[in-house]
């Protein structure tokens, strides 16, 4: 969440450690100045376009939101989380089940079977065609409902046997038993199983779905956090590019001042008003200023490359970066008190809210593990109809004929492991996971408040430093002018003028750096508060690829 310390501070340290002692020997100083001037002349020019072709900071932000791979990865994870929700709902979709099976058997009958089948044959050969079809549905209450139909076509010696006739009444003989060859039998059954303990209710059956939905919310918050973090990185890097561009101008101006002093000192030496050592000292300062130009140019190119790396899909080091002015106008100053900002951060910071979602998921897992530790007690019920005929239609038409009632049954099934150590251990694991999640929430809260307090203090300090450094620049400019007048009057040396030039260059660089520090601290504050995109008037649709302004 914290933006890394800005590299231009290292540049300031480098510039501030240059020795204030002039080089000894005019020959050495001249040689060094020539080498540095040559290197500066052949160095690659900064890839900065003219203002009329420049791109505003928010254009870079939108480009980064569209092209950044890290953000694209988080968006892909969000899309997978959304698909996972659909996967968890798959078991609640009505399922159609069908089966067809043909069987043929020939078996020798024992005495009991022979008598039971009426002694029709020693070898009982049978052909059976069975067709099954039905629907199954699993409900969020835990109930499992199935409606199935079974139709059989059966042919065997019994069905092929001639019908038995009752001749007790010769005037009206009757057939004994069904006479169908082959026989068609159909059965339709409705089965219901409702858990009463383990697996009862939506708290158990929808646990995976609830976890998936929480995962979607967490992934969305992570996309938002990544997007806002990327926005902050682009804005700060853009501000660093502006700083580096202006700092390069400062260093080039310092070279010009040193060059003017070299020329002036040479004139005074020719007039007999100065010694050659004054020219040597001015040449040494010119070489030092040229070296600072080279360092400033390298720093500018580094910042340009970082900006391109944050906003390009394919890195192209030859692309010229276009910038317009500064970024200080993009966001208003934060005037709220610390308590108000902290309250807003705890309710809006997406990274912190994502941690809360993880804790919410552990609550669901604990609840599910407690459900799975219960004994299994299921209520089972069935209701069915059956019919027999000489064809499929006849068998269905026989349903409920002759006043027959439907078949039905009701009962319970109870199951419990004799040793429940595994179930209890699973509950303990879930409890500890929930405790860890709560500790992570507290840890994230403390970290967020610490970062917020540091950001507030850094922002306030940067505003104070900004006022002080402006005064430093003003005094350095006055000091240089004063020393130049004294040098013209012959009451000081060029060595003191050189020191004043060096001090002015460093003060101007510090003034530019403090502006970036102040802006970076303000960006950090809004980033921690969780409303950076809102302040920038950006609508972040975490499921889409491009943000609109």
CATH classification at residue 21:
1.20.1600.10
A 10 A CB-CB count for 536 gives 20
Let me know the angle formed at the C-alpha of 274 by 17 and 29, rounded to the nearest 5 degrees: 40
Least reliable range by pLDDT among 104-118, 205-219, 291-305, 373-387? 104-118
Provide mean pLDDT across the span 296-304: 90
Is residue 531, in this structure, part of any structural domain at all? Answer: yes
pLDDT tens-digit map of 376-406 = 999 999 999 999 888 889 888 888 887 788 9
Q: Are residues 123 and 252 in the same domain?
A: no
Across 163-172, 252-261, 487-496, least confident range: 163-172
Choice among 9-23, 113-127, 317-331, 449-463 with the minimum mean pLDDT: 9-23
Cα distance between residue 357 and residue 223, in whole Å: 14
- The DSSP-derived string for 427-465 is HHHHHHHHHHHHHHHHHHHHHHHHHHHHHHHHHHHHHHH
Q: Which two tokens stand for residue 414?
A: 């109870």
Q: Within this chain, do residues 338 and 477 fall inside the same structural domain, yes or no?
A: yes
d(CA 23, CA 30): 10
Tell whether 352 is covered by a domain.
yes
CA contacts within 13 A on the Cβ side of 390: 5
Which residue segment(s) compose the domain that 462 sits in?
9-84+210-361+429-535
Q: With bands split at pLDDT 50, 70 and 90, how would you rate the model's confidence at 507? A: confident
C-alpha pair distances (Å), 225 with each of 228, 431, 549:
5, 29, 18
Inter-CA distances, 343 with 117, 337, 448, Å: 86, 10, 11
Model confidence at 408: pLDDT above 90: yes
Q: What share of residues in the chain are helix, strand, coil (percent, to 5)? A: 60, 15, 25
Q: pLDDT-based confidence at 174, cuts 50/70/90? A: low
C-alpha to C-alpha distance for 204 and 186, rounded to whole angstroms: 37
Cα distance between residue 262 and residue 497, in whole Å: 11
What was the pLDDT predicted at 512?
87
Same domain (yes/no): 228, 342? yes
Same-domain status, 307 and 238: yes
Kindly report, residue by residue over 155-172, the tens digit of the pLDDT.
887 777 756 655 565 566
- Regarding whether 466 and 351 lie in a shared domain, the answer is yes
Written as six digits, the tokens of 335 are: 């005037």
Total residue length of the chain: 549
Cβ atoms of 218 and 298 within 8 Å: the answer is no
E strand residue ranges, 116-155: 123-138, 144-155
CA pair distance 402, 502, nearest whole angstrom: 116
Q: Is pLDDT of 36 > 60?
A: no
What the block records as the tokens of 304 is 């340009």
Task: Classify residue 241: in a domain, yes or no.
Answer: yes
Verify that 331 and 462 share a domain, yes or no: yes
The arithmetic mean of pLDDT across residues 143-164, rounded, is 84
Within-domain flag for 541: no
Structure tokens at 344: 């807003």
Say whether both 69 and 157 belong to one domain.
no
Q: Is the pLDDT of residue 549 over 80?
A: no
Task: Please tell me the predicted confidence (pLDDT) of residue 43.
Answer: 44
Residue 113 has pLDDT above 50, yes or no: yes
Residues 291 and 244 in one domain: yes
Alpha helices (H) in 89-143, listed in sequence order: 111-116
How much is the mean pLDDT over the chain?
82
pLDDT of residue 15: 43
Whether the CB-CB separation of 504 and 476 falls below 8 Å is answered with yes
Residue pair 424/373 in contact by the 8 Å Cβ criterion: yes
State the average pLDDT over residues 170-190: 75
Q: Residue 463 region, left (φ>0) first, then alpha (ψ -120 to 50), else beta? A: alpha
| Residue 253: predicted pLDDT | 87
CA-CA distances (angstroms) from residue 335 to 344, 355, 455, 456?
Answer: 13, 28, 13, 10
Question: Are 344 and 454 found together in one domain?
Answer: yes
Residue 305, domain member (yes or no): yes
Q: Are residues 194 and 218 in the same domain?
A: no
Other CB atoms within a 10 A radius of the CB of residue 314 amount to: 6
Q: Given a cut of 60, is residue 37 above it in pLDDT? A: no
Number of domains in the chain: 2
CB 358 within 8 A of CB 437: yes
CA distance 130 to 152: 4
φ, ψ for residue 44, nearest 5 deg: -65, 130
Q: How many CB atoms lie within 10 A of CB 182?
A: 16
Task: Check whether residue 307 and residue 257 sit in a common domain.
Answer: yes
Same domain, 191 and 277: no
Q: Which tokens go with 541?
A: 């649709």
Determine the longest span between alpha carbons in the chain, in angstroms.
Answer: 163
Confidence label for 429 from pLDDT (cuts 50, 70 and 90) = very high
User: In the Cβ-directed half-sphere of 365, how many Cα atoms lie within 13 Å?
Assistant: 21
**Range from 161-165, 381-385, 416-420, 466-470 carrying the lowest mean pLDDT:** 161-165
Please report which confidence band the pLDDT of residue 336 belongs to, taking 50, 70 and 90 as the band edges. low
SS (H, E, C) 399-432: CCHHHCCCEEEEEEEEECCCCCHHHHHHHHHHHH
- Sign of the C-alpha dihedral, residues 334, 337, 340, 345? positive
Lowest model confidence (mean pLDDT) among 22-36, 83-97, 334-348: 22-36
Rounded mean pLDDT of 294-304?
90
Q: Classify residue 548: in a domain, yes or no.
A: no
């Amino acid at each position: 969440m914290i933006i890394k310390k800005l590299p231009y501070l290292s540049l300031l340290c480098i510039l501030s450690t240059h020795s204030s002692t002039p080089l000894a020997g005019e020959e050495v100083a001249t040689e060094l100045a020539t080498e540095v001037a040559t290197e500066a002349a052949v160095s690659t020019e900064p890839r900065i376009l003219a203002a009329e072709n420049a791109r505003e900071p928010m254009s870079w932000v939108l480009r980064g939101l569209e092209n950044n791979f890290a953000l694209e990865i988080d968006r892909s994870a969000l899309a997978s989380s959304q698909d996972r929700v659909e996967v968890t709902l798959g078991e609640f979709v009505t399922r159609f089940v069908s089966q067809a099976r043909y069987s043929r058997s020939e078996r020798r009958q024992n005495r009991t079977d022979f008598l039971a089948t009426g002694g029709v044959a020693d070898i009982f050969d049978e052909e059976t065609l069975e067709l099954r079809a039905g629907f199954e549905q699993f409900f969020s209450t835990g109930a499992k409902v199935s409606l199935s139909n079974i139709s059989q076509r059966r042919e065997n010696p019994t069905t092929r046997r001639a019908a038995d006739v009752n001749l007790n009444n010769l005037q009206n003989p009757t057939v004994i038993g069904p006479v169908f060859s082959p026989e068609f039998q159909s059965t339709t059954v409705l089965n219901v199983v409702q858990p009463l303990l383990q697996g009862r209710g939506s708290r158990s059956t929808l646990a995976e779905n609830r976890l998936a939905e929480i995962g979607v919310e967490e992934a969305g918050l992570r996309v938002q956090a990544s997007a806002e973090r990327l926005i902050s990185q682009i804005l700060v890097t853009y501000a660093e590019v502006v700083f580096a561009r202006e700092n390069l101008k400062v260093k080039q101006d310092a070279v010009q001042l040193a060059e003017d002093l070299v020329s002036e000192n040479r004139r005074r030496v020719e007039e007999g008003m100065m010694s050659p050592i004054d020219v040597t000292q001015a040449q040494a300062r010119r070489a030092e200023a040229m070296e600072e130009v080279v360092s400033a140019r390298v720093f500018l190119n580094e910042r340009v490359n970082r900006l391109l790396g944050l906003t390009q899909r394919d890195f192209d080091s030859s692309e010229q970066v276009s910038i317009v002015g500064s970024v200080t106008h993009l966001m208003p100053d934060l005037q709220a008190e610390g308590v108000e900002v902290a309250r807003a951060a705890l309710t809006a910071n997406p990274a912190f809210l994502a941690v809360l979602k993880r804790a919410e998921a552990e609550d669901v897992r604990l609840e599910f593990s407690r459900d799975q530790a219960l004994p299994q007690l299921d209520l089972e019920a069935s209701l069915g109809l059956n019919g027999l005929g000489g064809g499929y239609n006849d068998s269905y038409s026989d349903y409920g004929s002759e006043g027959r009632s439907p078949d039905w049954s009701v009962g319970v099934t109870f199951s419990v492991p004799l040793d429940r150590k595994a179930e209890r251990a699973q509950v303990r694991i879930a409890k500890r996971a929930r405790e860890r999640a709560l500790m992570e929430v507290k840890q994230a809260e403390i970290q967020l408040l610490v970062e917020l307090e540091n950001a507030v203090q850094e922002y306030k300090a940067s505003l104070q430093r900004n006022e002080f450094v402006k005064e430093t620049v003003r005094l350095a400019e006055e000091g240089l002018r004063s020393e130049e007048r004294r040098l013209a009057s012959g009451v000081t040396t060029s060595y003191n003028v050189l020191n004043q030039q060096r001090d002015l260059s460093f003060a101007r660089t510090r003034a530019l750096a403090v502006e970036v520090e102040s802006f970076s601290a303000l960006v950090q504050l809004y980033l921690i508060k969780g409303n950076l995109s809102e302040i920038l008037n950006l609508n972040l649709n975490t499921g889409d690829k491009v943000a609109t302004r």
